[in-house]
Every structure is written in C-alpha cells, then in structure tokens.
Amino acid sequence: MAEIRWFWPLVVLALAFRLLLVPFADSLKLGSRPEVATPLTSLRRLAEGYWLKQSSLSPYAGSMYHGSPLLLTMLGPITMKRIQGQPTHLFCSFIFVFVDFLTAMLIRAIGQKLVLKNCKSLKLLDLSKLIESFVCLDAGGVASLIYLWNPFTIVSCVGSCTSPVENFMVVIAIYGACSRIAPLAAFGWVMATHFSLYPVILLIPVILLLGYGPDAPPSKLFLHKNPSATRSSIRIFSWKPVVYFTIWAAIWSCYILLLISIFLKGFDGLSEMLKKTHGFILKVEDLSPNIGVLWYFFAEVFDFFRAFFLILFHVNILFMVLPLAIRLMHRPCFLAFVYITISSMLKSYPSVGDAALYLGLLGLFVNELAEMKFSFFLFCGYIGVSLLSPVMHNLWIWRGTGNANFYFATGLGYACLQTVLVVESVSKMLNYDRILRKQLHTA
Amino acid sequence: MASLDEEKPPAARKSRLIFRLFSFLVSHSNVVSVACLIAGCIVLLLLPVLAKNTYISENALMPGAAKSMFSNQDVLEANKLVRDIYDQRSVEPKSGTYIARLIRKRMEKVGAEVYHHKFKYDNIQFHPLSFFSSTTHSAILQNSSGCVSSGVNSIGIIRAPRGDGKEAIILVTPYNSEDIKLNDALSLGLAYAVFSLISRAVWLAKDIVWLAADSRHGEYAAVASWLKDYHNPVFSSDPWGSGIGSCFETNNLHKKNDSLFDEVAHNVFRRAGTMSAALVLKVMEKNERRERDRLDLLAEASNGQMPNLDLINIVHFLAAHRQGLDVNVGSFNFILKSALIKNLGKVLQALSKLAQSLNPTWKFGVNSGDFVEGTSTLASSMYYQALGVPTGSHGAFRDFQIDAITMELSPRTSFNNENGISSFLLRGGRLIEGVVRSVNNLLEKFHQSFFLYFLTAPDKFISVGVYMIAFALLAAPLPIVAAALFSSTSKATVSRNSDKKVSSSESWKWLYSAKVVFIVHLWGLMISLLPYPISRVPQTTSTNNMLAWIVLSLFSLLVLHLLMGSSRSHSEHCNWELLKSVSITAASVGLCLMSIINFSTAQIGAMLLVPLCLVVRPLNKQPQISLFPKAVYGIFSLLLVMATFPPVTLMILKGFFHGFSSVSMGDFWEFAEFLWVWNSATYLYLMLVHLPCWVLCVHILLHP
C-alpha cells in the first residue's frame, strides 16, 4: 500500500485555505446561493429560528426554519455572536471547518479498514498478483483528500449552511458500522435521519456492515477456492452487533425525541416539529429553485395530482433500495455510497453539500473503480455544470433575459451526470468482481 | 482504426446508432472539424441574408393607433424654454445650476412633483469582486464635498390620473450643465414640451418621470447614480439635504427666502414604482444635409444585453411609418466601403437569381446593397456587444432589468433654420408622444419579443436560434477533436500495455494533464487580479503599468512552473495529446459559458481560438510529410500563435485602422482598464479563457 506523499501538509493546506476564505464569506454571498444553501440547511434561516425562539415563539413559526431543534441549541447561540467588520457567521464557519476535518479523518479510517479487508480477502483467494496491481493506493487518504479539496465541500463549508454537520453524521454511521461499534453507528444513523430523513435508507448497508463486516468479494468465490469449507465458515452474519445496533438505535432515538420535546415545551411539540422538518421534506412545500429537479415539476403540476406525484417521486428512491441491496450485498460500503448518491439525486432539496459527500466516498473505491470509463467526461461535466448553474441563475433572476427553463436545464444536466456516475460506478464494481472470478478460474 | 475495430468482439460492433455515429465523427475528426469551421464561417457571413423582418409581438402596444396631440403650440413652448436657457446663460455664464432651477420652475408649472438629486461623481476603479454584482457597491455621499465634483439631476414626476402609481415611464435628457450647447437645450425643450403635453393627457395610466441628467461627468454616471438611489432605499435622515442647498446658495444670495423654501421641498427623493421603459432623448447636430430628419437608435447595454425588441420595433414603426424619419442603427463605414463585402454581395445576388431561375418558388431575393449594409450593421452591433460596454446612458437601465434605448434625433437642416427646427421638433415630439402612449398601454413588462438578437437594419433582426448555429458550428470541432485525441491516447496505451497486467492508473492518466491546465488557469486568475495593486501606484503611465503587468505575470508563471511542474517524472506522464485534449476541453467549456454571458464575445473569441486550438501541435513532432509542407505548417502555426496573443491582436487591429505609428505599449493596458471600469465580462473572458488557452497552446507547440 503506497502512502500518499505530503498527505498531512495537504490536509493542513486545505484547512488553511478554508480559514482564508472564511473572512470573505459575506462578500462571496455563498450563503444565499440556491446551489449551496437550501431551505433545510441555510444558516440564515437557522439564525432566524433561533431569534424566534429567543422571543419565546415557536422556532417553526412563519415557515422560516425547517431544521432540527438540536442544531438550533448547538449553533443558535453561536450565530448571535458577531464581531464588527467580520462576516456574520464567523464562528459557525470555524466549527464547520473543524467538522470537515473530522469527517475527512473518519473517511480516512473507513478507507484504511476497507483496504485491509481487501488485502485479507485477496490473500484468502490466493490472488497476490492482483494485490500488486490493484491495491496500490491508500484509498482512505485519497478519499479524505478528495473530500477536503473538493470545491463543493469548500463552498458548502464556507457558505454558511449546515450540510457539513449532516455529512459528518452520515460518515459517523458508516464508520461505526465498519468498525463494528454499534452505539456509534446507531448514533450516526439516528442523527443523520433526524437531520435530513434520507439517510434512513442507510439502515440496510449499516446492518450488512455490522453483520458481515466491510466489503469483500462475493462469497461464491471463497466457496470456489476451498470447496471443503462450509459456507458459514467464510461469511457469517453475526447477529450480536445487529441486535446491539437495534437496541442502541432505539435508545438514541428515544433520547433525541426526549431532548426535542423538552426543548419545544410550551409550543406545539413533537408533532409540530415532525410536520415542519420531515413533513417539509416529504411534501416539497418550498418551490424556490435549487439544483434538483423536483421544484420545477411541482411548480407545474396540478394540485389534485400533487399527492400522487409526491408519492411517486419518493417511492422512486425506495424502489431502488431492495434490488441494489440484493446485488451488492457483499459490498455494503459501496452500497451505502450508491444509496447516498441516488438519494442526493432525487431528494427534494439537494445542494452541493450532498455531492461533496458522495464524491468523497467515491474515493474509497479508487482501486476497484480504477478502470472507470467516462471519468474525464464526468469530470468536465461536473465543472461545466457547476459553472453554468450560477450563470443561468444570473440570466434568469438578475438580467431577466432568460427564464426558469434555463436554470432547470442545468439541473437536468446535473441529474444526468449523477445518473451516469452511479450507473458507471456500479457496473465497474460488478465488473471488478467478474475479473476476480476470471482470475480465480484461470489460476 | 480499422484494425482496432477488428479486434473488438462482434457484440461490441453492434452498438447503438448514436455511439456508432459518435465514433464515426471522432474517427474522422480532422475532416469533420475543417468542415465545421468552414460551415461556421459561411453561416456567419450569411447571417445578414437570414435576417427576418421585425414585427410587433405584444398586442397591447398598438403603436400609432391614436391621433397625435402634439401640436405647434407645444413646439412654441419648447422654443421658449430654449430661448430662456440661452438668455439665462448670458446672465450667469459660469455656473450650471440655473438650468436646474429653470427646469424645476417649468416642471412645477405643469403640475409635476419635482426634486433635485445630488450625486457624487466617483472615479470608477478596479474592484476584483464587483463583476456580476453591480449593485452592491454603494458610495456614501459626503456632505462636505462641494458642487465641483458632483452634479445635480432635476426630476419631475407626473402622477397618472388613471394609474396606481406603481409603474412609470422614464424620459431622460442629458445636458452638460457647465457648457450648454444648442442641441442639449433643444433636447431639454423637446422633452419639456412632451412633458407638459402629457401632464394634460387623460389617458395616462403610468407615471411619467422626466430626468434632466446633469452630464457634466458623463451621462452614464448621472443616470446610473440616480437609478441606484432609486432602487436602494437610503435610511439616513436626509443625505441629500445640506448638499443641494450649498449648490444653490452661492447663486441665490439675493433671494435667500426663495432658496430656503426650495431646500425643504425639493430634496425629498420621490419614486414612481417600477419602470416599464426608459427613453433617452438627445438632439444631435449632423453636418451632412439630407432629405429627411434622422433618428439613430442606440441599444447595446453592458455585457451585450439588448432591450426587448418590441421597444425598438415601436420606435422604428412610429418614426419610419408615422413621422417619416430616416431611422438608423449603428454601422461600420469601413465595411460599407469594403470591396470584398461588395463583391460577396454581388456573388450572392447572382446566386439567388440563379436559384430563382431554377425554381421560381425559392425566394431568396438577395440584394447586394442590402447585404453590404446588413453586414456593416451586424458587424457594428456585434462589436459593441462584444466589448460589453454600454453605448450610452440607456445601459444603466438594463442593469435593473429596465428596457431602455437612446434616441438621437438630428434635423435635416442646420440649427439656424427656424422653420426647419420647428418642423423637426414637431416630428420628434409626436414620435416621443406616440412611444410613450404605446408603452402606456402595456399591461405587463416587456416580455413577448426577443431579448437575444442582432439587428441588421432597424427593421430586420437575427434571433438567437439562427445566430447560435454559426457559433455551434464553430465550437463543435473542439469537443470532437478533444475526444479524438483522448481516445487515441487511451488506445495507444492499451495496445502498449496489452501484454502486461492492466495497470490501474491508465484511465486516470489525464489527471496529470488536468493539473497542468488547472495551474495555468489559476495563473490566469492571478494575473487578472494583478491590475488592482498596479493601478494603485500613483502617477504612472500606461506603458509602465503594462510593463509591470507583463513582468509580474511572467514572474508568477515562472514561480508556478518551478513549484508545480518542475519534476521530470511528470513530463513523462504528460504526453502532448492528452494535454491538448484537456486544454481544448477547458477552452470549449469557457467558450460555451461565454456564449451565454455575452454571445458576441464568444463568437469573436471562437473565431480566434478555435483555429489556434485545432492547428497547434509540437513543432518537432509533425506528421510524416516532406520538408516543405512541414515548414509551411510550422510557420503558419507560429504566425497564428503570434496573432492570437491578446495584446498583439489589439496592436494589429489598431494598426490596421489607425496606422501603425499610433501603436504603443500601453494600448492593451488602456483597453483592459476600459473594460474593467465598465465591469465587462469580456475582460474575464480574455484573462480566464483566452490567455490560459493561448499559454497552453504555446506550451504544446514547444513540447519536447
């Protein structure tokens, strides 16, 4: 396993670059860009919610704030602290820089676990030749550097939105599951679900990770290698961590709900919170433009079809959960990556923060996906779309010479790019398994 | 290619049609790119032929439906104001505030709400972050500043009897308050006559605002500062108050009471709702004598934005068909005289006749004279759009999404001929009244007609769907050639490594080239910001600034090269085909972005950049041909590279038009300064797309 040269200097440089950008956060106006801050993650809305709370109103009054009450208690007081002549959310930005660092470190740890497991299973299969050629990169280091240096991550970190925290929770869940720490995995999963609802589908990969352990080649191959071994001796689903996980998940969710109900005492309480956060996500109430595709559609659709299409769009994600889980059961980490990508493509309020997460996780599979076609095309596509989107927005909103279709077209292009990315990476991963099998048969 | 196809398994050959089509294009990239280039140039030349007649798209406008009420009585009013201004000028020749006072009195007489707007003229400087966010920078008025560096606009508002005060039509008349000429006075008089007529109109549904802009420091600054204050609420108690008083005080010492009264009443900034259209009115004196009065329309705003075509349509309709004016849009004289274009027009005329004789149902009807005129008009409108600098004070309105044009009226006789001037004023007044009445009918803001178009004549336009074809054909070779180069390198490496184990990083090899391209673009960003510190150094000539800019940018390029690309191992990874492929892709992304921001810049940029990108290849790796074509090819690519370096291009163009003796080092600095003063995106294009691509091309050319 080749270490990356200058890993730590690059990490420090990335953090320094963020700190350099923080003082210019206000003049860059990232916090009001629709690509960066959504109604769910905007820190301006959070500050507004905190203000309402301080004036003993419900923070959800007036459809301004739609995030978690826990974020309000954690970040709310910090949003009030201002220094004259400095950006409004200076301290929050510092926190986000730190959170980004933690996320990157966890991704690195996940990558190291994956690479270790990979080496072990390749040794078991007696494919040391492949180890030389394939496992040549420190996947964790690459992934964490991709995460830290991705412009999307930097923008969402500096642009005063809470998506770094949401990403952190998702990564905690995956890390906890990878290292079989049930309480941690449960905490990450529950918090991530509470923040943005969509990580609820990560339940399957997390359970698979806890049960089977990190990614490995399909168990068929092991059986082929030593037919004498029983099936159970190679890949056992251990129930113990899963049971622990279930218990811990129940404990954490009860605890969080208790905290929230204490926090919202005197207002409408839990039902109001669920309606204003998860209900807001599911019902797609805010139709202000973003880089997703749902706002345009629901702005056009007739009211009496609305419920039908809402169900259709959300079930769209759920439809893909089961087939993918069956096909990629032996690679739960990769399954988690695919789920995150799909949900960030089809979610109601996507932002570049979601793209930052799945692009970072993509780096974990750098050895398996080395033969990816279209990598250059995808790279150019991402650059083109991320530059085109502000221009089209400017044309529509500020110049008035374009219209909503212009901006939506870039959103559509972005969705296509993500589709190509998912399809290509899944097919390459399956291809990798096929290559392994071929090697095994020829050897 | 054929051998590679044979190697493929039969399943792969039966791929989908679109993939086969794409691989066909890629495998014949040379032919395809040359064909596309030629087709693009032909379409560009044919654009004047493809122009369509304009038509009024919005039904509500109904231009010319009502009978004009502007009469000789109003012309007398106009003449009276002109005479008053001239009388007053002989009394107070030095100060310019008497005109503001005079206009205020007239406005009050017709029952308008009047106020003065004092603005400070600040020298615009280079702000690195001010591109695309024009309204953020708001200068704070300082009361201590005198009237020397500031101007006083006079504004009158007629409230519409049938309106709700939420919409307005703006009339703008710029005048030079320090040294008023007869044409400025005439335009003030004309505007006043129309204003007083409209104040009596019963049909008025939108408020009418008359802005007499003090253009001592340029028309644009006066109008832009008023617009900024109109749209940005100011919360301080009375930022204008004391300032304006001090401007009038010096002149009004003998009527102190009067001025005190003025101060209170006329410093409150009043508004009249959203603006649906603005007309900038100017009277010009042209020395040539013609049969008809002349109207010049100027429409180009910042970054190639145009007002809605309907506004130009109604002005043209009323001017040409109702008032019988000779309507013109800007055109280049040198093209009108160019023999090449004339001959091309003749050839096209002959061709169209031939086509008509073959099949009478084909109606091409190309007239060579029309073609030449259309080409020169198109060239001028493309030039002004590409520059990204507004052609007049109407440009300030476009930044707030208001459609505006400048109407330059010039009489057929000299200003001394009173009869001629009277009939000229009558026509002009009727024209403006008609336009105002037409816009007054609007129910929504202008949206029906085009925003993206070129004019080839006042009544002919090319819409975005047509002119995009020329650009698409020009830019199409870039991605095709990039794909061809990319696939050729990947195939080469696959065939080389076929005996070895698959080495994992092959498909990510482009990352090394991408790194080089990224660094060069980063360098482009750095040197585009360099003028900011350089322009802060006081008292330097533009030549010195230019030299400093060149030296600093060369130095930074050297530093970046030493920091990033010094190790030899990289140059092994980085073969020139991949590098060219990545840099061409970057250029095509940049060109496509620019074609959305400012089409004309992208079109002109593509005409320079695309041939360069296609031609360039390492000098010592020419294809296996004999010596002479090789030498010719090398010299040709060198010349192309020389000519497309932005300062050299500018130098050549300047030398071509003004003679090579006038060319100097600082020209490019002045040009760049001109661009960033107006926040033109062309500057960004030059520095972030064109220059990095040029540097990369030079790098490829000198590749070992």
3-class SS string, B328-372: EECCCHHHHHCHHHHHHHHHHHHHHHHHHHHCCCCCCCCCHHHHH
- Smallest CA–CA distance, residue B306 to chain A, in Å, is 9
Q: Is there a contact between A34 and A407 (Cβ–Cβ < 8 Å)?
A: no
pLDDT band at B424 (very low <50, low <70, confident <90, very high): very high
Q: Which residues of A touch B (CB under 8 A)?
A: 27-29, 129, 133-134, 136-137, 367, 370-373, 375-376, 379-380, 383-384, 387-388, 391-392, 394-395, 398-401
Closest-approach residue (CA) in chain B for A394: B132
CA A79 to centroid of chain Cα atoms: 24
Closest-approach residue (CA) in chain B for A368: B504
**Which candidate from B504, B507, B582 shows the least CB-CB separation from A133?**
B504
CB contacts, 8 Å: B401 with chain A: 398-400
pLDDT band at B93 (very low <50, low <70, confident <90, very high): low
d(CA B371, CA B388) in angstroms, rounded, equals 26
d(CA B178, CA A126) in angstroms, rounded, equals 93
Whether residue A358 is contained in a domain is answered as yes
Q: Does B643 touch chain A (CB under 8 A)?
A: no
CB contacts, 8 Å: A400 with chain B: 401, 451
Q: What is the share, in percent, of chain B residues with pLDDT greater than 90? A: 32
Instruction: Please tell me the predicted confidence (pLDDT) of residue B146.
Output: 47
Closest CA to A405 of A393, A414, A415, A387: A393
Whether residue A1 is contained in a domain is answered as no
Whether residue A429 is contained in a domain is answered as no
Q: Which residue has the higher pLDDT, A86 or B284?
A: B284
Contact at CB, A375 and B503, closer than 8 angstroms:
no
- Smallest CA–CA distance, residue B451 to chain A, in Å, is 6
pLDDT reading at B128 higher than 60:
no
pLDDT band at A233 (very low <50, low <70, confident <90, very high): low
What digits encode the pLDDT tens for the residues B12-69? 456 788 888 888 888 888 899 999 999 999 999 999 988 999 998 888 888 888 888 8
pLDDT reading at B606 higher than 60:
yes
Instruction: Please tell me the predicted confidence (pLDDT) of residue B607.
Output: 92
d(CA B65, CA B87) in angstroms, rounded, equals 39
What digits encode the pLDDT tens for the residues B253-269? 444 444 444 555 677 88
Closest-approach residue (CA) in chain A for B448: A401
CB contacts, 8 Å: A133 with chain B: 501-504
Instruction: Please tell me the predicted confidence (pLDDT) of residue B468.
Output: 93
d(CA A216, CA A353) in angstroms, rounded, equals 29
CB contacts, 8 Å: A387 with chain B: 589, 593
Find which of B486, B507, B570, B580 to mutate to test the A interface (most A CBs within 10 Å of its CB): B507
d(CA B695, CA B691) in angstroms, rounded, equals 6
User: Would you tell me which residues 2-41 of chain B have a C-beta closer than 8 angstroms to some C-beta of chain A?
Assistant: none
Contact at CB, B589 and A380, closer than 8 angstroms:
yes
Instruction: Please tell me the predicted confidence (pLDDT) of residue B35.
Output: 94
The structure tokens listed for A8 are 């730590």
Instruction: Please tell me the predicted confidence (pLDDT) of residue B541.
Output: 83
Whether residue A39 is contained in a domain is answered as yes
d(CA B432, CA B436) in angstroms, rounded, equals 6
pLDDT band at B157 (very low <50, low <70, confident <90, very high): very high
Contact at CB, B503 and A133, closer than 8 angstroms:
yes
Contact at CB, B510 and A376, closer than 8 angstroms:
yes
Whether residue A399 is contained in a domain is answered as no
Q: What is the DSSP string of A382-437?
A: HHHHHHHHHHHHIIIIII-SS-HHHHHHHHHHHHHHHHHHHHHHHHHHHHHHHHHH
- CA–CA distances in Å: residue A126 to residues A135, A437, B501, B560: 14, 12, 17, 46
**Which candidate from A376, A394, A395 shows the least CB-CB separation from B486?**
A376
**Which run of H or of E encompasses B151?**
strand B150-158
**Which candidate from A29, A376, A395 shows the least CB-CB separation from B596?**
A395
What digits encode the pLDDT tens for the residues B98-120? 888 888 888 988 988 898 888 87
pLDDT band at B574 (very low <50, low <70, confident <90, very high): low
**Region A20-28: what's the mean pLDDT?**
82
- Smallest CA–CA distance, residue A106 to chain B, in Å, is 25
Closest-approach residue (CA) in chain A for B501: A133
Highest mean pLDDT among A110-119, B307-316, B656-665: B307-316
CB contacts, 8 Å: B504 with chain A: 133-134, 136-137, 367, 370-371
**Which candidate from A29, A133, A380 shows the least CB-CB separation from B502?**
A133
CB contacts, 8 Å: A384 with chain B: 589, 592-593
Q: Which residue has the higher pLDDT, A412 or B22?
A: A412
CB contacts, 8 Å: A28 with chain B: 129
Closest CA to A101 of A37, A167, A160: A167
The structure tokens listed for A256 are 């969080």
pLDDT reading at B3 higher than 70:
no
Mean pLDDT of chain B: 82
Specify burial of residue A18 (Cβ count, 10 A radius: 0-12, 13-18, 19+).
buried
Instruction: Please tell me the predicted confidence (pLDDT) of residue A136.
Output: 63
Instruction: Please tell me the predicted confidence (pLDDT) of residue B504.
Output: 46
Whether residue A205 is contained in a domain is answered as yes
**What is the 3 state secondary structure string of B90-131?**
HHCCCCCHHHHHHHHHHHHHCCCEEEEEEEECCCCCCCCCCC
Instruction: Please tell me the predicted confidence (pLDDT) of residue B246.
Output: 52
Show the domain range for A356. 7-280+303-376
d(CA A197, CA A166) in angstroms, rounded, equals 10
Contact at CB, A370 and B504, closer than 8 angstroms:
yes
**Which candidate from A29, A367, A399 shows the least CB-CB separation from B305?**
A399
Contact at CB, B510 and A371, closer than 8 angstroms:
no
CB contacts, 8 Å: B132 with chain A: 394, 398
Q: How far apart are the first and last CA of chain B?
A: 27
Least confident of A63-67, A91-95, A269-273, B392-396: A269-273
Q: What is the DSSP string of B628-676?
A: HHHHHHHHHHHHHHHHTSHHHHHHHHHHHHH-GGG--TTHHHHHHHHHH
HSE-CB of B342 using CA atoms within 13 angstroms: 7
d(CA A322, CA A314) in angstroms, rounded, equals 14
Closest CA to B74 of B110, B102, B111, B112: B110
Find which of A17, A380, A385 to mutate to test the B interface (most B CBs within 10 Å of its CB): A380
Contact at CB, B514 and A379, closer than 8 angstroms:
yes
Whether residue A37 is contained in a domain is answered as yes
Mean pLDDT of chain A: 88
d(CA B165, CA B171) in angstroms, rounded, equals 16
pLDDT reading at B97 higher than 50:
yes
Instruction: Please tell me the predicted confidence (pLDDT) of residue B122.
Output: 65
pLDDT reading at A412 higher than 60:
yes
User: Would you tell me which residues 504-543 of chain B have a C-beta closer than 8 angstroms to some C-beta of chain A?
Assistant: 504-508, 510, 514
The structure tokens listed for B105 are 């009195």
**Region A88-104: what's the mean pLDDT?**
90
Q: Is there a contact between B281 and B407 (Cβ–Cβ < 8 Å)?
A: yes
Closest CA to A168 of A83, A41, A72, A295: A41
d(CA B55, CA B58) in angstroms, rounded, equals 9
Into how many domains does chain A fold?
1
**Which candidate from B486, B504, B593 shows the least CB-CB separation from A367?**
B504
Instruction: Please tell me the predicted confidence (pLDDT) of residue B662.
Output: 79
| Dihedral over Cα of B694, B695, B700, B704: its sign | positive
CB contacts, 8 Å: A376 with chain B: 486, 510, 582, 585
CB contacts, 8 Å: B506 with chain A: 371
Q: Does B129 touch chain A (CB under 8 A)?
A: yes
- Smallest CA–CA distance, residue B390 to chain A, in Å, is 15
pLDDT reading at A201 higher than 50:
yes
Q: Does B589 touch chain A (CB under 8 A)?
A: yes
Whether residue A297 is contained in a domain is answered as no
Closest CA to A208 of A169, A168, A235, A170: A235
Instruction: Please tell me the predicted confidence (pLDDT) of residue B1.
Output: 36
Find which of B504, B511, B601 to mutate to test the A interface (most A CBs within 10 Å of its CB): B504
Contact at CB, B593 and A387, closer than 8 angstroms:
yes
Instruction: Please tell me the predicted confidence (pLDDT) of residue B239.
Output: 47
Highest mean pLDDT among B130-134, B195-199, B361-365: B195-199
Closest-approach residue (CA) in chain A for B451: A401
Least confident of A181-190, A329-338, B25-34: B25-34
Q: At what angle do helices B627-643 and B599-615 cross, to 10 degrees?
A: 150
Closest-approach residue (CA) in chain A for B505: A370
User: Would you tell me which residues 306-365 of chain B have a C-beta closer than 8 angstroms to some C-beta of chain A?
Assistant: none
Which are the contacts of B35, defined by CB distance < 8 A and separation ≥ 6? none
pLDDT band at A227 (very low <50, low <70, confident <90, very high): low
pLDDT reading at A183 higher than 60:
yes
Q: A-B interface: how many C-beta pairs under 8 angstroms? A: 58
pLDDT band at B134 (very low <50, low <70, confident <90, very high): very low
Domains in chain B, start-ordered, CATH in brackets?
18-49+467-495+506-701 (no CATH), 59-123+146-331+391-458 (3.40.630.10)
CB contacts, 8 Å: B129 with chain A: 27-28
Specify burial of residue A285 (Cβ count, 10 A radius: 0-12, 13-18, 19+).
middle
d(CA B157, CA B199) in angstroms, rounded, equals 9
